[in-house]
Amino acid sequence: MSGILVVGTGNSWRGDDAVGLEVASALRGRLPETVRVLATEAEQSSLMDEWEGCDAVLIVDAVHSGAAPGSIHRVDLNAEVVPHAVLQGSTHHFSLGDTIELARALKRLPAKALFLGIEGESFSPGEPLSPAVAAAVPAIVEEIAKEVEALLNGN
Amino acid sequence: MADETRTIKTDYLARVEGEGGMLIRLKGNEIEEVKLNIFEPPRFFEAFLRGRYFTEAPDITARICGICPVAYQMAACNSMESVCGVKVEGQLKALRRLLYCGEWIESHALHVYMLHAPDFLGYPSAIEIAKDAPEVVETALRLKKIGNHIMTVVGGREIHPINVKVGGFYKAPSKAELEAMVPDLEWALETSLETVKWANTLDFPDFEMDYEFAALDAGGVYPIEGGERFVSNRGLDIPIDEFYEHVVEEHVKHANALQGHMKERDSYLTGPLARYALWYDLLSPEARGAAEGIGLPKVVKNPFKSILVRSVELVEACAEALRLIREYEQPAEASIEVVPKAGAACGASEAPRGTLCHRYELDDKGIILDATITPPTAQNQPQIEADLRGFVGQFMDLSNEELTLRCEQAIRNYDPCISCATHFLTLEIERT
């Protein structure tokens, strides 16, 4: 498979919301050169342009579900609809959940689309990653490396 | 019946701590309470800026908002340049305006089609519009992409542009790089003209408010990337440096936030309706023609019609971007030298959603001693509450459900910015 994009997204100034960006940074140099790694704080609907033409996209972001901090949630976006609560947008933003569902409606989701959510603990302005979330970064980096390897091997 | 208590309540970001909500309590036909908490001020950033070097402010403040980073950069640059006694002019100023047009195109297209239109069309969100009318959403996405592309070419990166600095840019694009965007921008201009006509087919509640409109005075051009004065339709006309002598920020307990008020005046409105009302005559012939084409008056007092004015400004941003590219000549130097000076000054710019003011105090080494940032939504929040009071008073007969939807729409009229909002997903896991 060619055209693989790994996106880490979040807000670098809001505590554990930065974990997707941290994962993307940690992945640099860890994946084959043909795999594009993007760390972005962009308005989320623009992600559709980023994965346009890709065969596979892996999206990494922080989540807040009440699970243990640092635990990893895995959603196969082509098999499952993102839970409704994920679609909680705001008056202003177009959220990642909105973007995924919009891409689905417009038939603009890549053939393989995987969401990896890392449970956050604190989203306070200016805080670093909480210890449990920082500790989860190597594990998710490994998981993504395995996913990418499987994709490249055609699995 | 007369004593019946009705409560209209929406939690915008129900699962995000303290970020956004609306409460309206009615007793019979009396409005007992209107509480709005949609805005989180960038206080953390103001504290973080203290002790930093003056050249860092544009990049740091650009992180406050994912939708309007250019607005923050430009207000920071304008303020720093004013403290240091320099002026960025000529093609460098034109490049800043072009970069800002990209942000207006991106932000206005997003709001008009994807955030505001669903309210008018009776859809819960743009996702449902995409299922029934994908071409509408594809149009919005293409417009947005063109706006983003301007930000990439001029700003270096579409979100949080990294090419902007106090004094100008790190690198000025070539004429050819800008001209390559012309075909897309010509499409965007045509499409934005159609957008105005399309928006005019929407239904608007019969509702008007008597606003004090406030916007920057950019000295003979439609205000975008800056302005030396802050003016209103009720006689306010001050140098931007006196912003904080006239606008006070009050701590509002229910919102746990600071709201902007003008001293000894009532609430005021900043944003597209204000810019349009104050500076209609400075719009491009294309934008004025679009407004005339749908019979839009020179002053629009129905806040729901902000979607029309935002569409006219979308035309303005496309036409202005094309003009700037046509007249562009790559400057020999991408920036002017800025030597730090001790002092304090305000600088402002017109974010898509309204006037954004920054004030910095520097020491003689260029270290930031104090920073104050007043975003448009902080200024508009009292006016949004006033609109809600006015609207609910006039449309009290609507069902709770209909009234709630209309009140949400009334808030979205302002394209409010929830600054430094988190991006994280709220995930609900059900186990059965």
> What is the number of other CB atoms lying within 10 angstroms of the CB of residue B188?
29
Q: What domains can you pick out in chain B, each with its CATH number?
A: 43-384 (1.10.645.10)
**Six-digit token pair at B216?**
């920057």
Q: How many CB pairs under 8 A join A and B?
A: 160
The whole-angstrom distance between B344's CA and the closest CA on chain A is: 26
Least confident of B42-46, B102-106, B178-182, B292-296: B42-46
Nearest to B243 by CA among B211, B276, B270, B206: B270
B136 Cβ under 8 Å from any chain A Cβ: no
DSSP notation for A116-147: EEEE-S---BT----HHHHHHHHHHHHHHHHH
Each residue's pLDDT tens digit, B167-192: 999 999 999 999 999 999 999 999 99
Nearest to A71 by CA among A30, A37, A116: A116
Average pLDDT of A91-97?
A: 69
- The confidence band for B431, taking pLDDT boundaries of 50, 70 and 90, is very low
Question: What pLDDT sits at residue B5?
Answer: 74
Question: What pLDDT sits at residue B381?
Answer: 85
Question: What pLDDT sits at residue B428?
Answer: 42
Each residue's pLDDT tens digit, A99-150: 999 999 999 999 999 999 898 898 887 889 999 999 999 999 999 999 999 9
Contacts of A96 in chain B (CB under 8 A): 423, 425
- The confidence band for A14, taking pLDDT boundaries of 50, 70 and 90, is confident
Residues A56 and A5: beta-carbon distance below 8 Å: yes
**Six-digit token pair at A119?**
């449970």
Each residue's pLDDT tens digit, A28-62: 889 999 999 999 887 888 899 999 999 999 999 98
For strands A4-9 and A36-40, give the pairing. parallel
- Please judge whether B20 and A91 are an interchain contact, meaning their C-beta atoms are less than 8 angstroms apart: yes
What is the C-alpha end-to-end distance of chain B, expressed in Å? 43
Question: What pLDDT sits at residue B41?
Answer: 67
**Of A41, A48, A86, which has the smallest distance from its Cβ to B160's Cβ?**
A41
Give the contacts of A77 (CB within 8 A, at least 6 positions apart). Answer: A59, A100, A104, A109, A113, A114, A115
Residues A8 and A122: beta-carbon distance below 8 Å: no
pLDDT at B426 over 80: no
- Please judge whether B428 and A98 are an interchain contact, meaning their C-beta atoms are less than 8 angstroms apart: no
Which residue bears the tokens 């208590």?
Answer: B5
Least confident of B97-106, B157-166, B386-395, B402-411: B157-166
Question: What pLDDT sits at residue B261?
Answer: 67
Nearest to B280 by CA among B213, B229, B374, B347: B213
State which of B23-37, B388-402, B407-421 shows the largest mean pLDDT: B388-402
- The confidence band for B39, taking pLDDT boundaries of 50, 70 and 90, is low
Question: What pLDDT sits at residue B405?
Answer: 84
| Mean pLDDT score of chain B | 88
Nearest to B422 by CA among A86, A38, A93, A69: A93
Question: What pLDDT sits at residue B40?
Answer: 65
pLDDT at B263 over 90: no
Residues A91 and B412: beta-carbon distance below 8 Å: yes
Average pLDDT of A7-31?
A: 91
d(CA B281, CA A95): 37
Each residue's pLDDT tens digit, B146-155: 999 999 999 8
Q: What domains can you pick out in chain A, each with its CATH number?
A: 4-152 (3.40.50.1450)
Question: What pLDDT sits at residue B9?
Answer: 61
Question: What pLDDT sits at residue B411?
Answer: 86
Q: Quick one: which H or E segment has residue B22?
A: strand B21-27
The whole-angstrom distance between B71's CA and the closest CA on chain A is: 15
Residues B39 and B418: beta-carbon distance below 8 Å: yes
Question: What pLDDT sits at residue A81?
Answer: 77
* Window 74-133 of A, Cβ < 8 Å to B: 83-98, 101-102, 105-106, 117, 120, 123, 125-126
- Please judge whether A11 and B423 are an interchain contact, meaning their C-beta atoms are less than 8 angstroms apart: yes
pLDDT at B3 over 70: no
Conformation bin of residue B160: beta by default, left when phi > 0, alpha when psi is -120 to 50:
left
Name the pTM for this structure: 0.92
d(CA A5, CA A3): 7
Residues A92 and B39: beta-carbon distance below 8 Å: no
d(CA B57, CA B65): 14
d(CA B425, CA B415): 21
Question: What pLDDT sits at residue B14?
Answer: 30
DSSP notation for B318-343: HHHHHHHHHT----SSSB------SE
**Six-digit token pair at A45?**
């609907």
Phi, psi angle pair for A53, to nearest 5°: 85, -5
ipTM of the complex model: 0.89
Task: Name the 3-class secondary structure at A8.
Answer: strand
Contacts of B159 in chain A (CB under 8 A): 40-43, 46
Phi, psi angle pair for B364, to nearest 5°: -70, -10
**Of B48, B411, B422, which has the smallest distance from its Cβ to A14's Cβ?**
B422
Average pLDDT of B49-68?
A: 90
Question: What pLDDT sits at residue B23?
Answer: 78
Which runs of consecutive H residues, i.e. helices, occur in B376-420? 376-394, 400-412
Question: What pLDDT sits at residue B257?
Answer: 53
Average pLDDT of B72-90?
A: 98
DSSP notation for B42-64: -HHHHHHHTTSBGGGHHHHHHTT
Nearest to A111 by CA among A32, A53, A64: A53
Nearest to B7 by CA among B18, B21, B23: B23
Question: What pLDDT sits at residue B10?
Answer: 54
pLDDT at B422 over 70: no
Average pLDDT of B69-95?
A: 97
d(CA B409, CA B303): 10
* Window 87-116 of B, Cβ < 8 Å to A: 106, 110, 114-115
pLDDT at A83 over 90: no
Give the contacts of B94 (CB within 8 A, at least 6 positions apart). Answer: B324, B327, B328
Residues B50 and B368: beta-carbon distance below 8 Å: yes
